[in-house]
Amino acid sequence: MKLRHIIYIMGILLITFAIYFNSLPNGFNLDDNAIIKDNPLVTSLKNIPKIFVSNYWANTPYEKGVILYRPIPVLTLAVDNFLWQGKPYGFHFTNVLVNAINAVLLFYVLLFMFGDALKPRYAALAALLFALHPVHTEAVNMIVGRTELLAALFSFLAIIFYLRKNSIGALILFFCALLSKEIAVTIPVMLLLYELYSKKKIEVKNYVFFALVLGVYLGIRYLVLHGLSSSNQAGILAGQDIWARTGTVIYVIGLYLKLLFAPFYLTADYSDYALPTSLLNFKVLLSLTAILILLGIAWKHREKKWILTFGILWFFITILPVSNIISIGALLGERFMYLPSVAFALIISALFVYWDNIFARSFLAVACTIICIVFGIYTFSRNFDWKDGFTLFAAAEKNQPNNPRVNYFMGLKAEADKDIAKAIKYYELSVKEFPTNNWKPDSNTINNMKAKIKELGGTAVSKVETEAAVLYNAGLKLYKEKKYDQSLEKLKKAVELNKLHADAYVVIGGIYVERKDPKNAIEYFEKALKINPNHPEAKENLKRVREYYKIK
């Protein structure tokens, strides 16, 4: 290995680790809980043999609705669980490590594919752009995003082995990629296109063997899952006619293009219900225009600038398995962009190859360095959003205030914080824009919460005031039980939180009456009357105390 290659590799590894280091303290998020925390396939090494004969979603609420066969990622999760004793930071470390290794492997993929035409320093820069691309934050931060990482890892290795004339190794690694995620099915297609465009000799038998490996994989998948796919994975596309479905798929591919070239305003959830489902929708037509322009560029340069064509086709071919031409359940996800985003590195590589002018290449190198810095800063800051589920949805709320799922989870957070009024606000938003969505409270939840506020005296309009109302209720109960010391403690905490809680002042005054302390009793009755001059109990009790103790 050349010294400069070692320097480039060390640079890629160090920068990638530096940018993702702050993701290590993050917890489990979203599907991590179902796949890892509560899954006996992961929590015990004794169950490793079962991993290879089980649905990816085995032992989760989704087991019957979605069938997937991804044993290698589950195996690595089980090993992580053993090594790190279930601590999230260990799982995150593995994801960060695999992402960094993938960037190094891509560096070699670019060198082996384009040879002397692409200088190593430019290949390293393109690989670093891949490593720091913000769209990868979901695949790296969400531990179960490891399916994307491992599929890419084995795919890159398969490409390298194939280009180095190690066909058996390439076939084994291709099989491992398929056992990580289905998107790897596109790799033989990309290799065939590469050989066609680079005018290399095509060994047909190699692709026959790739097809045989794919057949073996599909056979095992069918035997284990008793089927190849689930009819319950249609999502929003269920029941859509061909034109509406086509429009939605075109729009989603357009969104993926936006994520490829402008990966900002990221979110953990792209609400199905906000997506257009008409072929004539303006956003669909805009997406279609962008798709046709890119395909036109690819066609125009297919002869003289084939690397550019190859990069564009990499995106469109690798995005097909997740485009919902065949329904996969999730309509759009940033993690699905992990392997397709290699297109970004390929296109950058093509520019370095074809811009042979020293000034053009220098300009491009400076531009890529600036992009790396911007990507790195955004990726680093985005990692903080993945601290836990609620920080994730709080960040999503800024970009998607009308997203029903986001509002539903923000409502759950507010309810957990005893901020009933805020919970009602979010729950109502979760059904306002898209009343038929699945992410909403049951029909009685909001009404029950409003009734609770009424029960608490109508004062619960914020988290603090809700807590004050709860303390008031507890204090009032203790007062009726003649536990005056305990009651006074609760009630004084209530008025500290909500200084306008007139009822609490009245009960405190009543406690001082029972203690035969007219001075303090009068003080608290008067405080209640300052808040509400017409408070009947405060007026009556103040009058009685003054008359009994003959105080003017």
Establish if 214 belongs to a structural domain.
yes
Residue 421 lies in a domain: yes
Residues 342 and 262 in one domain: yes
Burial of 195 (0-12, 13-18, 19+ CB in 10 A): middle
The verdict on 414 and 344 lying in the same domain is no
**% of the chain surpassing 70 pLDDT:** 90
Q: How many domains does the chain have?
A: 3
Those residues whose C-beta lies under 8 Å from the C-beta of residue 154, and which sit 6 or more positions away, are 173, 174, 176, 177, 180, 184
Assess contact for 431 and 424: CB atoms under 8 A.
no
For tokens 């991993």, the residue is: 51
From the CA atom positions of the chain, what is the Rg in Å? Answer: 31
**Residue at which a domain ends, from 437, 455, 473:** 455
> Residue 525's pLDDT is what?
93
Q: Does any domain span residue 471?
A: no
CATH of the domain at 535: 1.25.40.10
Are residues 539 and 429 both part of a single domain?
no
pLDDT in tens, 59-98: 877 777 778 999 999 999 999 999 998 899 999 999 999 9
333 lies in the same domain as 407:
no
Which has more pLDDT, 7 or 271?
A: 7
148/36 same-domain check? yes
The verdict on 183 and 294 lying in the same domain is yes
Burial 512-526 (b: 16+ CB within 10 A, else e): bbeeeebeebbebbe
Average pLDDT over every residue of 410-427: 77
* Residue-range definition of the domain harbouring residue 532: 482-549
Indicate whether 411 and 488 sit together in one domain. Answer: no
Residue 167 forms part of a structural domain: yes
Contact 538, 506 (CB under 8 A): yes
Residues 174 and 284 in one domain: yes
Q: Which residues contact 380 (CB under 8 A, 6 or more apart)?
A: 19, 20, 22
Q: What is the pLDDT at residue 389?
A: 84
> Is residue 22 one of the residues assigned to a domain?
yes
Chain center to CA of 53: 28
Q: Establish if 90 belongs to a structural domain.
A: yes
Decide which of 433 and 411 is more confident.
411
Q: Is residue 460 part of a domain?
A: no
Tokens of 329: 């359940």
Kindly state whether residues 282 and 354 are assigned to the same domain.
Answer: yes
Picking from 14, 259, 279, 297, the residue whose alpha carbon sits closest to that of residue 128 is: 14
Which of the four pLDDT bands, split at 50, 70 and 90, describes residue 25?
very high
The answer to whether residues 223 and 300 belong to one domain is yes
pLDDT of res. 354:
87
277 and 333 in a common domain: yes
Overall average pLDDT of the 488-495 stretch: 91
pLDDT of residue 458: 47
Same domain assignment for residues 159 and 227: yes
Q: Dump pLDDT digits (tens) for 322-331.
A: 888 877 777 7
| Over residues 162-168, mean pLDDT | 94
Residue 200 DSSP symbol:
P
pLDDT, mean of residues 358-382:
92
Domain boundary among 359, 385, 411: 385
Residue 447 lies in a domain: yes
